[in-house]
Amino acid sequence: MDLNCTLQPVPKTGHPGYVHLRVSGRNAPTHLVDRRSGFDYISRDKLQAWFRQNICAVMQELQHIRCQNGRVYALKYIALGYGVAHTIMATCRGDRKRKIYFDFVPAFEFLASEWPQELPNHQHNNRTWFAVPRSIRDRNARKDPLTFTVCAPYWERMELEKKNNLKNTMRLMKAIRSAHHMNSLVSYMIKSIFLNCAEWKYITWNQSPGQILIRMTVRMIWSLFENRLPFYLVPGLNLFETVSKSQKSDYRRIFSRIIRKLIKCRDRNCMTPDDMAFLFGIRYY
């Protein structure tokens, strides 16, 4: 997003990975800001409400979208940005089972040189980073409508590039997550296991995907045991804060069964159809 004003990211004290966006300039969007301690800041709540208002205003015009293949879709606004994303679902009028989901996340882009000095440095090759609206995940934190979290997909991509077996193994772990219905273990948490291990040089990535999967599963179990998964960009932020204690305990038990199965498959150098069904939810007949 470009609001035609100057935004300065200011780290939020005591909450690693979160920033306030201080606004200056004559064109400051007064309908999106709150004033605090003599400064104007972008309000996350007002920004999301503004997005919500604009999307709702056009939804009635998006009930008959014809594609080049002749299919006609009706659009419905189903996630209204109370978390992070605004989600629109497109349903084919001729086949109600055919659905497409579009996620929109308002984000502010910053130069690499604007990365706050208080936060850890990373390799960036002068690629940009973003601030996206997110409330503080810590359940004990006071509500703050001004918080945004930092993200840097370009920087993360550089950390993972030229590690093809890493990417293949990440897909396998996501398949395990889905097959065992560990819904609170979102994809970015799995990606973070790999990002952290890549930065720590925990493993050589030219091993087979099966060997890497065993090592990464061990790392996942250890993170669940510690109740801590560091955010790659700002390790002081624990990504597991949003996962309940009982869920972490359940996931630890599930992954313990998975690692035993993976080790058995490795030792006999074979994966049976029953193994595939247990690990990935795939069954061959």
Single-letter amino acid code for the residue at 4: N
Q: What is the pLDDT of residues 87-96, one digit of tens each?
A: 999 999 989 8
The arithmetic mean of pLDDT across residues 204-226, rounded, is 94
Q: What is the pLDDT of residues 6-38, one digit of tens each?
A: 999 999 999 999 999 999 988 889 999 999 999
The arithmetic mean of pLDDT across residues 66-79, rounded, is 89
Distance CA 133, CA 104 (A): 12
SS (H, E, C) the chain: CCCCCEEEEEECCCCCCEEEEEEECCCCCHHHEEEECCEEEECHHHHHHHHHHHHHHHHHHHCCEECCCCCEEEEEEEEECCCCCEEEEEEECCCCCCEEEEEECCCEEECHHHCCCCCCCCCCCCCCEEEEECCCCCCCCCCCCCCEEEECHHHHHHHHCCCHHHHHHHHHHHHHHHHCCCCCCCHHHHHHHHHHHHHHCCCCCCCCHHHHHHHHHHHHHHHHHHCCCECCCCCCCEHHHHCCHHHHHHHHHHHHHHHHHHHHHHHHCCCCHHHHHHHHCCCCC
**Residue 142 DSSP class:** P
- Letter string b/e over residues 70-102, b meaning 16 or more CB atoms within 10 A of that residue's CB: eeebebebeeebeebbbbbebeeeeeeeeeeee
Q: Reduced to 3 states, what is the DSSP secondary structure of residue 34? A: strand
Residue ranges of the domains in the chain?
A: 6-149, 162-280
Q: What is the pLDDT of residues 232-279, one digit of tens each?
A: 999 999 999 989 999 999 999 999 999 999 999 999 999 999 999 999
Cβ neighbours of 182 (radius 10 Å): 18
66 class by beta-carbon count within 10 Å (0-12 exposed, 13-18 middle, 19+ buried): exposed
3-state DSSP: the chain helix, strand, coil percent, rounded to 5?
40, 20, 40
Token pair for 126: 């002068």
* Predicted TM-score of the model (pTM): 0.87
Q: Reduced to 3 states, what is the DSSP secondary structure of residue 54? A: helix
Q: Does 216 score more than 90 pLDDT?
A: yes
Sheet holding 99-104, edge to edge: 65-66, 72-80, 86-92, 99-104
Better-scored residue on pLDDT, 164 or 229: 229
6-149 maps to CATH 3.40.50: no
Sign of the dihedral through C-alpha 149, 153, 158, 164: positive
Q: Which CATH class is domain 162-280?
A: mainly alpha
Tell me, what's the pLDDT at 179? 95
The arithmetic mean of pLDDT across residues 145-166, rounded, is 93
Tell me, what's the pLDDT at 285? 63
Q: Does 138 score more than 80 pLDDT?
A: no
Q: Reduced to 3 states, what is the DSSP secondary structure of residue 16? A: coil
Tell me, what's the pLDDT at 202? 86
Q: Does 139 score more than 80 pLDDT?
A: no
pLDDT class for 84, splitting at 50, 70, 90?
confident
